[in-house]
């Protein structure tokens, strides 16, 4: 005969399992919604079908900026001629994950007060950079092969910078200068306005950005080191990896290509933490859900085995089998309700810790809590079904003989 203490212990264990499952399922649900929001997020560029790699120049020859210019011109021309390549360009860094903050001033306000000098992300790029990354140009033009050192020094700014420093004005033709107010760097004429890019990842927000043509300033920040290659939709960028590397080695076999990856992969790296947490929570939540369902099933099955004579007597005295069903299911529902309520309370504390991992969803997201409650409640009812059916089919005569 099962003692009351043992029965209470089993029930408490099942309640704890249900509460844990509730907490883990809520956490997993919030991460799933976060990842869905991040997947739909417009980064400001199109990472699909883009191969990226880096060339870390070595050797005395490439200490001369003009040598690096000639190297990239030959490489880009050769890569663009490969079948399946739509566009290719060079840059210092990638559109996401690389940041080079620099002060700047505008000709409208060349001497801002100390401590109020603006800064921006500083991007060195080649011709066709915007076509390769598919960063939209809102106004003006992109860089071209005529943007060389003898030509007028130019720059492209993003919408954020244009709105902050020339609100309501046409930014084309405006001038800015990289560096502090006392810098002797040349003034740059704005020839284009690009769309905003989440260059610091989804959580970093939009910042001011300045693009300059690498052929006019090949010595700055070491010049461009990244090659970006956009392929046609029918060609996977990784399939062109060897062909692109071969073209680099045709130009100079001593320059290794490193950090070879797709831009899709680079763009997903800022979301890697959320992906890992989501996978862990889903795994543990699935295990906890299975344990809670098995717990309800085992507790009810054991309870029915111990109460076989009681149930048989009820049926013999005229109790409807539906009443027996409600008796058994009621025990399971009671455990589930207590566990779910405790799980909701625990989830509200857990999600506070997860706030920094969430994006586009509140820690107390009602949809997630309702969906998890329904799912866990349904699973709990399903766990009650087999023991309840068994109780309904108990033969009163056999039950009265049961020891």
Q: How many domains does the chain fold into?
A: 2
Q: How far apart are CA 213 and CA 154, in angstroms?
A: 7
Q: Are both 146 and 295 inside the same structural domain?
A: no
Q: Supply the range of the domain harboring residue 133.
A: 57-255
Residue 51 belongs to a domain: no
Q: How far apart are CA 48 and CA 133, in angstroms?
A: 9
SS3 of residue 218 by DSSP: coil
Q: How many residues does the chain have?
A: 403
Residue 265 belongs to a domain: no
Answer yes or no: are the C-beta atoms of 233 and 239 closer than 8 Å: no
For a pLDDT cut of 70, what percent of the chain falls above it?
Answer: 85
Bridging pattern class, strands 257-262 and 50-55: antiparallel
pLDDT of residue 59: 79
Which residues partner with 123 through β-bridges? 211
Half-sphere exposure of 81 (CA within 13 A, CB side): 9
Residue 355 DSSP class? G
Q: Are both 357 and 238 inside the same structural domain?
A: no
* Full pLDDT tens readout for the chain, 403 residues: 445 566 677 778 888 888 888 899 998 889 888 888 887 888 999 999 999 999 988 878 888 888 888 999 999 999 999 999 999 999 988 998 777 788 999 998 888 888 889 999 989 999 999 999 999 999 999 999 889 888 899 999 999 999 999 999 999 999 999 888 888 888 999 999 999 999 887 777 889 999 999 888 766 656 789 999 999 999 999 999 999 999 999 999 888 899 999 999 888 877 777 778 888 888 888 888 888 888 777 766 665 555 555 555 555 555 555 555 566 667 778 888 888 999 999 999 888 888 888 888 899 999 999 999 999 888 887 877 666 666 555 545 554 454 4
Q: Are both 142 and 23 inside the same structural domain?
A: no
Q: Are both 161 and 243 inside the same structural domain?
A: yes
Q: Are both 173 and 315 inside the same structural domain?
A: no
Residue 167 belongs to a domain: yes
Indicate the pTM of the whole model: 0.76
CB-based contacts of 166, cutoff 8 Å, min separation 6? 106, 108, 174
Residue 262 belongs to a domain: no
> What are 337's two structure tokens?
């309700």
Residue 109 DSSP class? B
Q: Are both 105 and 152 inside the same structural domain?
A: yes
End position of a domain, from candidates 230, 255, 280: 255
Q: How far apart are CA 378 and CA 371, in angstroms?
A: 11
Answer yes or no: are the C-beta atoms of 100 and 121 closer than 8 Å: yes
């Amino acid at each position: 005969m099962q003692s009351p203490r043992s029965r209470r212990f089993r029930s408490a264990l099942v309640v704890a399992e249900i509460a844990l499952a509730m907490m883990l399922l809520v956490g997993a649900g919030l991460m799933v919604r976060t990842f869905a929001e991040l997947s739909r997020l417009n980064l400001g560029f199109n990472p699909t079908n883009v191969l990226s790699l880096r060339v870390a120049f070595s050797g005395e020859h490439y200490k001369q900026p003009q040598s690096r210019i000639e190297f990239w011109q030959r490489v880009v021309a050769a890569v663009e001629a490969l079948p399946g390549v739509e566009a290719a360009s060079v840059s210092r860094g990638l559109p996401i994950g690389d940041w080079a903050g620099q002060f700047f001033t505008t000709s409208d306000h060349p001497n801002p007060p100390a401590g109020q000098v603006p800064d921006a992300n500083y991007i060195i790029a080649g011709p066709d950079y915007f076509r390769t990354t598919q960063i939209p140009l809102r106004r003006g033009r992109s860089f071209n092969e005529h943007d060389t050192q003898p030509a007028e020094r130019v720059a492209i700014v993003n919408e954020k910078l244009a709105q902050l420093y020339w609100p309501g004005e046409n930014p084309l033709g405006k001038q800015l200068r990289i560096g502090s107010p006392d810098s002797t760097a040349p003034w740059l004429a704005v020839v284009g306005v690009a769309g905003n890019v989440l260059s610091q990842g989804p959580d970093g927000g939009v910042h001011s950005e300045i693009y300059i043509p690498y052929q006019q300033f090949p010595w700055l920040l070491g010049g461009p080191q990244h090659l970006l290659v956009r392929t046609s939709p029918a060609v996977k960028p990784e399939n062109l990896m060897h062909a692109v590397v071969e073209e680099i080695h045709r130009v100079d076999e001593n320059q290794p290509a490193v950090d070879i990856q797709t831009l899709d992969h680079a763009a997903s790296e800022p979301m890697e933490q959320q992906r890992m947490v989501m996978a862990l929570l889903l795994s543990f939540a699935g295990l906890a859900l299975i344990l809670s369902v098995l717990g309800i099933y085992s507790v009810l099955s054991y309870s029915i085995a111990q109460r076989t004579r009681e149930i048989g007597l009820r049926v013999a005295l005229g109790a409807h089998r539906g009443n027996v069903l409600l008796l058994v299911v009621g025990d399971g529902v009671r455990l589930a309700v207590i566990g779910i309520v405790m799980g909701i309370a625990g989830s509200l504390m857990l999600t506070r810790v997860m706030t920094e991992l969430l994006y586009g969803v509140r820690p107390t997201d009602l949809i997630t809590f309702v969906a998890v409650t329904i799912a866990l409640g349904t699973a709990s009812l399903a766990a009650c079904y087999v023991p309840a059916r068994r109780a309904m089919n108990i033969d009163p005569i056999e039950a009265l003989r049961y020891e």
